[in-house]
A and B are shown apart, each in its own frame.
Chain A
Amino acid sequence: MSKRKSHTPGRRLSLVVMLFFALAFLLLGARKNDFMGYILALAVPAMIFVGTWVLPHLFPTDRLLMSLTNFLCALGVLLLYDTNPAYALQQVISYGVGLFAMILCIYFVRAMHTGRRIIWLIFVGSLALLSLPLLLGREINGAKNWITIGSFSLQPSELVKLSLVLSLAFFLSQRRMLPWVVFSVACLGLLLLQKDLGTALLYYGTTLLLFWAATGNLPFSLLGVAGGVGAAWYGYQSFAHVRLRVSIWLDPWADYENAGYQLVQGLNAIASGGLWGVGLGLGSPTSIPVYESDFIFAVLCEQFGLVFAACVLLIYVALIWRGATIAMSARRRFHGLLAMGATLLLGLQAFVILGGVLKLIPLTGVTLPFISYGGSSLVSSLCLVGFIQGVESLNEADLEEDTRLAMLERGNPA
């Protein structure tokens, strides 16, 4: 009874979310006179329905987390449909693939009790995958972190995020330091060779914080922080593009026609939206370079305003809170670290790009989880939620087992 009661808010929330997106896509479809808008008005709420109503019938999951995740994914599709319908179509396909991958991840976490053999397979496979762009990748803006197979492109570092969290959780729960250090250093080295600094920063932050959470070893953790600061200082002194990035952050107006143009456009768009936004489908979001991925939050602010954007940020806060609560409720050390690692990665990624767009920290090129355009990013983010949900389903199973044992004891007091 209490279980059903606790699920009701999530169900109501998802109903409101489905209605919101159906109306929004209908509005945009009518405005653009585009049939695709009407299809999305059906497809996106249907996917939210699958994510928040059908999935929890397969295994116990956290409905609030599911509703919030689906809201963010659908919001991304909506913003992309407004700015570039072709991107929206690809994103909605990735959303479907991501939901399927999330189910697989939930099953994977439920099935993986010891996982000694598979973790070594993941270990070797991930390093091989991460080194592929150096051999076969194409260079875009100095970074070489994409591989293309036929018409299909993939960013391996997005997928390796999953194995990073899995491997760290496994080795740290077993208190085996050597494989953990080797894996982390190898991943960071490969990312730096690819010059994928944003992802390297995420990997580093997640590794360090998860190490501290697992061991509580403050001196080594502080040593890691000092190492990171030292590396950042060395990078600033040695590489011109790092200095440029910092100077843009400090004063984008100084070179707004060139280097600072992107950030200035983003800030203009955010300021243009004001508190309540210019309205869905209005404004000029496409004037921001890379509006579809890195600067999608500026598009959101322009169209919906700062108040709505603040609510979206609070959704990320709620996601972190739910993820951490699930991690803290886990009975096994591995599952707790896995859920916390996934939460950490999502939270840090959100902060790195939001802080960059809002000029709080220097801008680095990562996507905003669930909202930004990008198949690899969306699928990997949904897989991370799948890990958290997998741990939640195990927590629920443990609770049910406890209840059953308590009932048995009560029935047989002797």
Chain B
Amino acid sequence: MQKTDLLDKLQEIVGKERVSASAAELYCYSFDASQVRGLPEFVIRPTTTAQVSAVVRLAWEKEISVTARGAGTGLAGGSVPVEGGIVLDMSSMNKILEMDFDNLQVIVEPGIVQEKLNLALEPYGFFFPPDPGSSAMCTLGGLIANNGSGMRSVKYGTTRNYVLGLEVVLADGTVINTGSKTIKSVAGYSLTDLFVGSEGTLGIITKAILKVRALPKERSVLLASFENPEFAGKAVVKVLSSGIVPSACEILDSNIIDAINTYDPKVGLPRAGAILLFEMDGTESAVREGITMIEDACSSLATGIRAATNKKEREEIWAARRLVGAAVSRLDPMRTRVYLGEDIGVPIKEIPRMLHKVREISEEFDLPIMTYGHIGDGNLHTGMCIDMLDDKDWDKLNKAADKIHRTAISIGGTVTAEHGVGSARAEYLELELGKALDVMILIKKALDPKGILNPGKMGV
């Protein structure tokens, strides 16, 4: 089929204004926040499930690949059309379709931005807990497709824990509904769980039934300073094994502390080798008790402990923490943050060991590696900034990232705890998953035999 004929057909489905084949637009959709690149032939911004279904049906018939995309904030190329074809920009499907607070759930379209959902829920006293650093811009569809999480996952888990059901457009355009509005259902395989985290390789999510939680009555933040990240890692193990469940448990190393203080001087974090940020939420007494227990658990390892005194200070700390991944670029005008090897997860007990290994890798490649992340669930973000115009820096970065990935796997960890596999980490899946990857490939073949849905991703 000629490209112009295809354009006509796509325009018939979604309307002229919602299809683009302009070189400028295609270029903009050839990126996300990773280093993966892929130029689409068309970008479409659908507004209804019927449109998505019709586009996918057409792509199925013509064997053209289709890559779904939310806000394009991914860090592994998950939404980058590495084999060309059609990009479905889902951000226009951004409505909250139903707020059913008696059932503690909402039904949303996939293009709604996480923060906008939470702003809409707040007046009713509810919230959607998964809280990634990109919450101000990332869409729920992207969050579901990557099983994203964020700073609250230590207590609230990942997006998967909040998805009760999905509406999904399959590779041939068929629309199915998975799950239901019930809290429990064992009717059949959990297809909902299959699509959560499938990165658009098995179907396109067009609707989601999400659980929401009542907003906690009280929150309190504690900052504990340590001589080095390893001591902080030990403190985390101690806190968690003493039975406390903080609503956030974040580590910041000394460079990250500088980056936060540079981005927002109001935050004024103390200088230290590492800081742990603990948050407790819940009833007033539970929060008070939890904070005291954390203080006790950290006291023998920490060099200083202080509480964030008020809501404003707490919010400033979290706002700066959310954006620090990019803010490390501010530390040196010649260097820019590159997201690579940035999302490993290790068993909680192995956190101090992994932190030590990261330091060794940093020394081996003579490349500063900053460490921050959701240490409470073993998820460490390693931040590397390079001179983007220096090939030697790129070489060091690639080698260091590779070693970080392999080290994480070797100690029983994962190459990605929440950012996704995409293309950037696909090469490690065989090593990490072994024969389980073959099962993934079988599932992919069963659901997408022509291989049109987000090809080139997840090692399938």
Do A and B originate from a single complex? no
Instruction: Give the A-binding residues of B (Cβ under 8 A).
Output: none
